[in-house]
Chains A and B, each alone.
Chain A
């Protein structure tokens, strides 16, 4: 039911965004189009990584939505050819270790060649390596910046 409404209001939102553009060109401070959270989420869910990055810079509300873990989980899953495990299994582990966005930004993005327009699918080894690095990173950060555990007993 949400979906039906979103398809009709997405067209209206696009027209409102074009009207807001016109307003911008007239140099009066116009508010960002007042999309509901659901709409924004649906739009961003289909966006690629660069768009998400740009969207996160718009406002704090947009940032909160653009950094939603579900969106980034979808980004990661789009790239992986084969998981080798159940998605819920992956989700619980990755969320516990810092989340999909961190996984993508820190350990997957560096492997993507910047020039290729086409989305390249990562192999299982790349997935496993990035997960291993995520684990190591999380472990290192446990107990404060020096990684001393229990926290508070630093050098």
Chain B
């Protein structure tokens, strides 16, 4: 879908994006073809390298000037060349000639390019220039500028790859000298043109390409190339800073685990559902440092509160109670209801403890104490279950059997996606919920598709998603109400929390791969098919979410959006978490 290029007869090429193919598969028809570019599918004679570099610069200048003149979106590069038909994109030299001649302008004197911005936020999300626009779809469109970057890859990474990769480094010495040759002629055209070999933005793009190339190699079971690329990635990552570096580190670590088959079946690192005290801690820190979980809790609570209006006896079932952080706010809201609070019952579901401690009971005690403080009648039951599919309707029944029926709300925060790892479990849960007939079923899930069949698609999606997440962590200063005392540790914990998810998505397969996130649209389909109607989250929930962000003051990048009655919270233009509410379809 992304690589729609006419495969014009060369066995090694196929598109603009680098593929990290094993060089042995590219038949070196000419002896003097540059080795590194050949590995990427391009045939450029070593002697032509300087010339090609210059032409690429001209092309980019022309396009940038054209972009400045017109108001076309920067990523829409191919709009410049509507008439061009490309026959052999791997032969860079002639291809560039055809592109430049179509432009029909004499090559302009190259003005000094704008200095790359300081490496404060070298990340994927903001599309600030034509070259750094990480977006799966326009990859094919922005290839001329990509090629320019890759040219620099050819010249620049010759030095760093020579030490690491055995397969790609055959011409290491050769490419280094050629690289220096290609750098020198270019500044001759304009004295003020500094050709920076390792420019943070450059390295950032290279890093992304290397990550994708490695993932593709893994998908094709090309473990030698993947191994080489992983080493290259860690080198490139060390030149970055901030969010980019952390994301790259986690993803390369995850790839390494996958390559070396270091997949512990149920390990504390790769299995985020393990409810041990360390996971507790990470979860708590993530809750404190960024607003996603708070958003989830408060919007779900608002929906539950509205559903419970007028009910005297209420029962909440929490599919993943963890530390019970969601419920104090709901209890308080119920306590302040005009007419007084209802009698409240909570059933908390949790996994069995590795150390046999009764965490569920402790959470219940704490909540009971809290409820006692604000004088709400409170009952608690803990349910230990390995999987939500083990829950039967009778376990959720009201044993006291008093006169009035209780109103039930079922709440699931990031618990449903794990059910997709084993077939039939989600349906079982839907069935159980239908039997219980809740007034409302609130669902919060990550807004991303990390469950597609193709590993590469999953990887790419996850890269984009977690980059945005890490960016938001970087950009936020934490809640003003609870400042982290030494600034860093809280972020480190939250990053590790996310890192565990990354490990699971990338390094695990089959039933171990529990982080099977799906988008809101996908969940909507599943719920409709299972016999549920959507319940629109009202404007109160939206206002609460907006107030939360205003209070949080941790960065202006957060956005609350309403989509067909569901609420999403995201960073800039990317939604990251979505709350929705459902009820059983009337028969």
Contacts and interface: CB of A to CB of B under 8 A. Distances in A.
A131 B337 CA distance: 13
A80 interface: no
Contacts, number: 99
A140 B340 CA distance: 25
A62 B343 CA distance: 42
A125 B333 CA distance: 12
Contacts of B337: 85
A92 B372 CA distance: 12
A91 to B, nearest CB: 11
Given A93-B336, A133-B481, A135-B329, 10 more contacts: A89-B340, A128-B333, A132-B333, A135-B332, A137-B481, A139-B328, A142-B370, A147-B323, A149-B366, A150-B365
Contact-residue size bin, chain B (C-beta under 8 Å from the other chain): 35 or more
B336 A147 contact: no
Interface string A101-127: 000001100110000000000010110
Nearest to A105: B481
Nearest to B547: A129
B338 interface: yes
B333 A139 contact: no
B481 A110 contact: yes
Among B294, B333, B367, B547, max chain A CB count under 10 A is at B547
A66 B367 CA distance: 33
Nearest to A107: B481
B433 interface: no
B335 interface: yes
Contacts of A138: 328, 370, 373
A86 interface: yes
Contact of A143 (B294, B338, B366, B546): B366
A136 interface: yes
B325 interface: yes
Given A89-B336, A155-B281, A111 B328 contact: no
A96 interface: yes
Contacts of B553: 110
Interface in B474-504: 480-482
A131 B340 CA distance: 16
B544 A125 contact: yes
List 8 tightest A-B contacts by C-beta distance, closest first. Answer: A132-B329, A149-B366, A139-B328, A135-B328, A125-B543, A129-B547, A135-B332, A85-B336
A31 interface: no
Contacts of A92: 374-375
B335 A93 contact: yes
Given A131-B332, A132-B332, A133-B551, A149 B374 contact: no
A20 interface: no
A147 B284 contact: yes
B239 interface: no
A139 B553 CA distance: 22
A90 B374 CA distance: 10
A88 to B, nearest CB: 11
B214 interface: no
A107 B544 CA distance: 14
Contacts of A135: 328-329, 331-332, 370
Nearest to A132: B329
Contact of A107 (B277, B332, B366, B551): B551
Contacts of B367: 139
A97 B298 contact: no
Among B328, B543, B544, max chain A CB count under 10 A is at B328
A90 B369 contact: no
